[in-house]
Every structure is written in C-alpha cells, then in structure tokens.
Structure 1
Amino acid sequence: MESVALQHAECPICFEPLCRGEIGVFLDATGQRVSKHFYNLAAAREMLANGIITCPLTRRPIHSVQKVPDIRSDPDGWFGTVDFDGNGKLSHAEVVESLKAILPVDLDAFDRAASAPGWWEQFDRDGSGFIERHELPQLVEHVTKVVAGRRDERIPDIRTDRNAWFDYWDEDSSRALDKEEVVRALLKTLQLTSDPARVAQMRSTIDAIWCLFDEDGSGTVDRQEFLKAGEGLADTIIATIGEQRS
C-alpha cells in the first residue's frame, strides 16, 4: 500500500505537509538519489543524526540528505534535483509529485486537473511527452493560480468522539490502524509534526509500546483494542493530551 504520507504530500518521517518548509532528498554514498521521494529537511537531518541510515520508504542505504533548491530563486538547481533520471526533462509523475511537494495546492483538485484530457499538452509544447526546463515557468504559474489552497485539517476531538477520531485516521477503511497511521494521527493530534526531535521520540515510543495496544499481534489496532477502557490507545491519547495542556 502506498505510504499515507505520499497520498497527502507529507513528509514520510514527520507527516508535516512538505510545502510548509524546506525539503530534502536522500543520497547514497555516490551522491545519487536513493528514491524519488521528498522529505522535510529538518526531519531528514534529525533522522540521520540519530543514526538511522536506511530510507524510510525504500529501505536502501542512505549517506546524506541534500536540500532541494527553491524553485523561485534557483529554478535550474530545483529542476536538476527533481530530475531523478538526470535526462534533462520531467515526466508527468515527476512534475505532479514535485509540485505537490513545494506548492500549497488543493491536492484533489490538482490530481483532477492533471489527469484531464489536454492538460499536459498545453505545457508540453513540443509534444515530447515531457516537461523541459524552458516549459516549466508557465506550468508552475498555472498550477499556482488554478489549484492553489490546501485544505485545512479538521481533526475530530478524541475526547468527545473517540469513534469519529478512529474513523478519521482509518483512511483505507480497514477498520484498524497500522503503526504508521497511529504515528501520523498522534503527531498531528498533538501538533508535533514541526518538531523533529519530538517526532523521533514519538516514533521510538510507539515502537516500544506497540504490543500493549496490539493485543492480538495482528500488526494493527482494531476498534475494540482502541476503545478498551483504561488500557486502550484512546484513553492513553486522551491522558497524554491532558498532560500536555496542564
């Protein structure tokens, strides 16, 4: 299953929307990118500083993180970094995913626009099937104007409606939350996504105590386990919120 972070154009480490801060890409020992994915730069650096040297998504070895240049001040540098294949042109997928990472766009609206007949052709002027460097400015200007505005998250209050909170984070309707879904839910509920050190601490904590909530060892926390009085994940989160605000 595709990472839930990728579906929302968020950092796969901290789940902060990528467009809200500087982003980076992981490199191997030869200086080549290990994947096409983008990460919050601070979270990626914190991860490396903590001794984690494998890509969170591909599990390939990583050696360093490279900052992605700002498309406005260094469009050539940005294009060169995003061009994963190094062929001087960007595919449809490269364009869509990279612009989602840097622009505060309505993701659903962008996906609909990018898949509409004729959309790609208005920017791919030479009909090559790719976007080249000189074709980029018009595309960025169009996306910024037409699909700007990322929707605000309205997270249900777990203290007043535990079932609604569970359903909100169960995006695949599996009737259970896996570990990544729980980490994402907690970081966002507790508003910790912009603090790399606390993100790392949260991930470590969930790894250590996961078995307390996943009683049947299924790898997920189902609704019954979540709602278990006094010992379930819901009561633990509510208690944590109380401590955080006291």
Structure 2
Amino acid sequence: MRQRITPQLPDLKDQPAEWFKYWDEDESGSLERPEIVRALIKTIPEFTGRDEGWLGGTFAAIWSIIDPDEDGSITGAEFMMPGGLYETLVANFCRHRIDG
C-alpha cells in the first residue's frame, strides 16, 4: 500500500498563495467556508481546538465582508485583496511573527 505524502503546510504570512492552494482541497481555485474553517483551526493557534460550528458561525457573520461578490467562495484574488481575508488574518493573528 502506498503511503500518501502530505506537503508541508506553507506559512500563512510568508507564503499566502501556497497556503491558499494547500487548503483548496477540491482544487476549485477558491476556498469555501468549510475549507476556510478547517484551515484556520489547523493553522491559527487561537482557533486550535475550537468547535467548527463556533468558527463557522463567526464566519457566517462576516462572510459578506470577506466574500465581496457573495458567491459563497473566496477566490485567490479576493483572499489577497486589500482588506481581504489574508490581511485580516495576518493583522490579527500573525503579529508575533511580524513584530519579532
């Protein structure tokens, strides 16, 4: 039986495009809410161990801000746009890496 090789998780702050692609599990070119929730639980220490329902509910409340065309998914361009999800995550959860 072949063992599946999982690529190393790219760093959100330093490799945002690779991080995005890593979590795009269905290779659709966009992240849907379940993919984002899973990525954050696995990536951001503040969310580790949180219930997916709790985090999903939090994203439901802000989804229209991070999904400006409200199509239910976030493309790479939406992820990287000024004020988008990438900037929000880095500003709020990657400070320790930026400052030190």
The TM-score, its normalising length taken from structure 1, stands at 0.35
CA drift of 1:200 comes to: 4.1
Q: Residue 42 of structure 2 aligns with which residue?
A: 188
1:109-147 CA-partner distances (Å, limit 9, x unpaired): 4xx6xxxxxxxxxxxxxxxxxxxxxxxxxxxxxxxxxx7
Verify: 1:166 aligned to 2:23, yes or no.
Answer: no
Structure number with the higher helix fraction is: 2
The total of aligned residue pairs comes to 97
Structure 2 unaligned regions, length at least 5? none
Q: Which residue of 1 aligns with 2:91?
A: 239
In structure 2, what is the equivalent of residue 155 of structure 1?
A: 9
Counterpart-to-counterpart distance in 2, 1:203 and 1:244: 25
CA–CA distance in 1 between the matches of 2:50 and 2:5?
22
Equivalence for 1:218: 71
TM-score, scaled to structure 2: 0.79
Cα drift, residue 172 of structure 1: 1.7
Give the root-mean-square deviation of aligned CA atoms: 2.6
What fraction of aligned residue pairs are identical, expressed as a percent? 36
Bigger relative CO (Cα 8 Å, ≥ 6 apart): 2
1:1-246 equivalences under 5 Å are: 109=1, 154-191=8-45, 192-196=47-51, 199-229=52-82, 231-242=83-94
State the distance in 2 between where 1:158 and 1:184 align.
14
Match in the other structure for 1:144: none
- Spell out structure 1 runs of 4+ moving beyond 4 A: 150-153, 243-246
Partner deviation per Cα, 1:58-107 (whole Å, 9 max, x = no partner): xxxxxxxxxxxxxxxxxxxxxxxxxxxxxxxxxxxxxxxxxxxxxxxxxx
